[in-house]
Amino acid sequence: MGDIAGFLHAHPPFEALDADELAALAAVAELEEHPAGATILPKGGPPVTHVRVVHTGAVEIVLDGRVLDLLGPGELFGHASMLSGLPLGFAAVAVGTTTCLRLPADAVRPVLGMPAGLRYVARSLLSSALAGPAGADDGSASSAQRPVGELLRAPLVFAAPALSIRETAQRMTASGASAVVVPLRDGRVGILTDRDLRRVIAEGTDTAAPVSAAMSAPAWTVAADRLGGEVLLDMLDRGVRHVPVLDATGQVLGVLTDVDVVAATTRSSFGLRAAIARAGSVPELVAAAAELTPTVIALHDARVAATDIAGITSVVVDALTRRLIELVAPGPPPRPLTWLALGSLARREAVPSSDVDSALVWAGDGQGRADNAAEYAHALAEQVLSGLAACGFRADANGAVATNKLFARSYDGWVAAARSWLADPTQERAPILVSLAVDARPVWGVRAAPAVADVFRDARRHPDLLRLLGRYALAHRPPTGFLRDFVVEHTGRRRGKLDLKRGGLVPIVDLARWAGMAAGVTSASTPARLRAAAAAGTLDPGPAATLEEAFHLVLQLRLAHQVEQLRAGEEPDDLVRPADLSPVTRVSLREAFRTVATVQRRIDRELQLGVR
């Protein structure tokens, strides 16, 4: 038993257990031997009642004849089925003579419910080099790649700040909720959880006191389109178990709990370990990043939606960025600092050809204090962008990078620039800079700092800016000039080819950004912006829905084209020959382009009339 306890203690998530807990677990462990090629766990079998830990040898995780993962000593498998109560979504097969430790579910379940266990589940699915197919046999997508707005389960309960703690607790009990949301006067919210109530009782607080005396405020909130795995990691890092989820207009949709995410995560197929998180050097990080190409190919072959694959790609780049900052930062920053993703990465719409748009923001006024915040930011950005390039993610060639002074400012500097663009949108490059800044999403750094993109929430009060952004959104027209064919390039390497990004996606992305800003929405995905615009009336529901359909179609075609290039060892791009597309695809693409063109013409007329 001592040998078994020592073995388990050397591997996550068991390393967090104390000696007595390890001894108890070792006492119920059974050592089993499997010959080469033996199926240890069959796909579609009943829910697992015992999980396994590879002791010697190796185990392949197989789906429909394709190997998804190769597990070595210390690797845990079967826990997803055990936690969810669902049939296995894969088969586990011994590679050579293999021994496993067989652990009862009742003994392992409490381990996975501990913070270290929750972190193990989250990181194994989110930060892995390969997330695996996004659905188990029940067809549900992996919550690591699902928006948290789709994971909400608990009823939403509100309480006024003046309501007593006792009445608030009664309201929570009656509804079966473990948290209550308290609206605040400034538009933000507070939150009271069951853990807060336990503290109230322990401290002897008068339960007749208002709930505002016991709540946490302002509560940390997340947008509904953030991915479940990433939010779970943030929750674990912050030590919180509840977080209010906001829709694109800032309204509370519900309260997410860590159990919501883990419960949904365990319904997904098994993923690899957190290769990025454990990289101890830049070369190790480069080696981990090299697995993204086969990951994208495997996910595409598994028919995972293009939006999900784009989300996974964006999450991987986020993880690489954070780990690079940890590895290369030249000491602690002189002022609190935040790294921002811009462009497709910020919208979680990255594909293999996407470059890295980035920015930096630090606390303060940037008025030449002696702390050298700007110099530090520039040195950090150079190192991080160099590391990302080594990992295969090149910096934006047009200068939207954190080493450019235009994209590295103090928070006050960003606010001043944004307000100047709002006041005078005719400034040189103002539409481009606004379009980039409004996409900005924090990746690393200060959590409580105001978001740069939030400066543009009142864009509706600046009709000149919106009108100019509307015209900017109309600058890219889809290639619908020929009745029987597409407009293609006529010179150079683009001759005879159609640009899916410039001709297909960019017009939709720009329209969605403009319409979203008109609806008061800043940083968000393109589909989320379109839905918010339809809800707010800045786009009619019909055109908004058809634009969203067109977005999904073009993104899927773009990704499929790049996957074939990756298979062939070619550099991915956005140029396709219309003749290489199937007749059905050509018809669908032509209709999508015509839909976008129709919406553009309608908006063009309205802008000329001053309607919007």
Quick one: pLDDT at residue 98? 93
- Whether residues 426 and 295 share a domain: the answer is yes
Residue 6 binned pLDDT confidence (cut-offs 50, 70, 90): confident
**Final residue before a domain boundary, out of 454, 479, 494:** 454
DSSP 485-517: S---B-SGGGBT-EEHIIIIIHHHHHHHHHHHH
**Final residue before a domain boundary, out of 52, 87, 109:** 109
**Final residue before a domain boundary, out of 238, 265, 292:** 265
Residues 84 and 102: beta-carbon distance below 8 Å: no
- Whether residues 218 and 310 share a domain: the answer is no
- Whether residues 102 and 149 share a domain: the answer is no
Q: Tens digit of pLDDT for each residue in 550-608?
A: 899 999 999 999 999 998 989 999 998 887 888 878 888 888 888 888 888 887 877 66
CATH code for position 174: 3.10.580.10
Instruction: Find tokens 């830049």 and name the residue.
Output: 282
Q: Is the dihedral of CA 267, 272, 273, 279 positive or negative?
A: negative
- Whether residues 315 and 432 share a domain: the answer is yes
Q: Is residue 134 part of a domain?
A: no
Q: Which two tokens stand for residue 477?
A: 């027209």
Residues 528 and 349: beta-carbon distance below 8 Å: no
Quick one: pLDDT at residue 266? 40
Mode of pairing for the β-strands spanning 337-342 and 76-77: unpaired
Mode of pairing for the β-strands spanning 357-362 and 408-410: parallel
Distances (CA, A) of 607 to 250, 513, 548, 598: 27, 16, 22, 14
Q: Nearest-CA neighbor of 339 among 323, 315, 322, 355? A: 322
Q: How many domains does the chain have?
A: 4
Quick one: pLDDT at residue 102? 95
CATH code for position 64: 2.60.120.10
E strand or H helix that includes residue 172: helix 165-175
The answer to whether residue 488 scores a pLDDT higher than 70 is no
DSSP E strands: which ranges in 446-589? Answer: 498-499, 575-576
Instruction: Find tokens 């000593």 and name the residue.
Output: 73
Q: Is the dihedral of CA 158, 163, 168, 171 positive or negative?
A: negative
- Whether residues 282 and 256 share a domain: the answer is no
Q: Is residue 79 part of a domain?
A: yes
**DSSP one-letter code for 394:** P
What does pTM read for this prediction? 0.58
Distance between CA atoms of 386 and 379, rounded to whole angstroms? 11
- Whether residues 301 and 261 share a domain: the answer is no
Distance between CA atoms of 587 and 375, rounded to whole angstroms? 53
Q: Which two tokens stand for residue 268?
A: 């997904």
- Whether residues 550 and 598 share a domain: the answer is yes
Quick one: pLDDT at residue 327? 93
Domain that holds residue 346: 274-454
369 versus 162: which is more confidently predicted?
A: 162
Averaged pLDDT score across all residues of the chain: 80
Q: Is residue 120 part of a domain?
A: no
- Whether residues 229 and 152 share a domain: the answer is yes
Instruction: Find tokens 């700007």 and name the residue.
Output: 374
Q: Is residue 175 part of a domain?
A: yes
Distance between CA atoms of 202 and 451, rounded to whole angstroms? 36
Q: Is residue 125 part of a domain?
A: no
Q: Tens digit of pLDDT for each residue in 375-410?
A: 999 999 999 999 999 999 999 988 999 999 989 988
DSSP 371-408: T-HHHHHHHHHHHHHHHHHHTT-PBPTTS-STTSGGGE
Q: Which two tokens stand for residue 124?
A: 């194994």
Residues 324 and 282: beta-carbon distance below 8 Å: yes
Q: Is the dihedral of CA 152, 121, 233, 386 positive or negative?
A: negative
Q: Is residue 251 part of a domain?
A: yes
Distance between CA atoms of 460 and 27, rounded to whole angstroms? 65
Quick one: pLDDT at residue 365? 64
Q: Is residue 126 part of a domain?
A: no
The answer to whether residue 540 scores a pLDDT higher than 70 is yes
Q: Centre a 10 Å sphere on the Cβ of residue 428 and count the other Cβ atoms it contains.
A: 7
Residues 120 and 80: beta-carbon distance below 8 Å: no
- Whether residues 253 and 278 share a domain: the answer is no
Q: What is the mean pLDDT of residues 3-13?
A: 86
Q: Which two tokens stand for residue 133?
A: 């197919």
Quick one: pLDDT at residue 448? 44
Quick one: pLDDT at residue 85? 60
- Whether residues 482 and 600 share a domain: the answer is yes
- Whether residues 492 and 430 share a domain: the answer is no
536 versus 118: which is more confidently predicted?
A: 536
Residue 283 binned pLDDT confidence (cut-offs 50, 70, 90): very high
Q: Which two tokens stand for residue 588?
A: 């669908």
Distance between CA atoms of 217 and 244, rounded to whole angstroms? 12
Q: Tens digit of pLDDT for each residue in 291-325?
A: 788 778 866 765 667 887 787 788 788 888 988 99
Q: Is residue 138 part of a domain?
A: no
- Whether residues 298 and 441 share a domain: the answer is yes
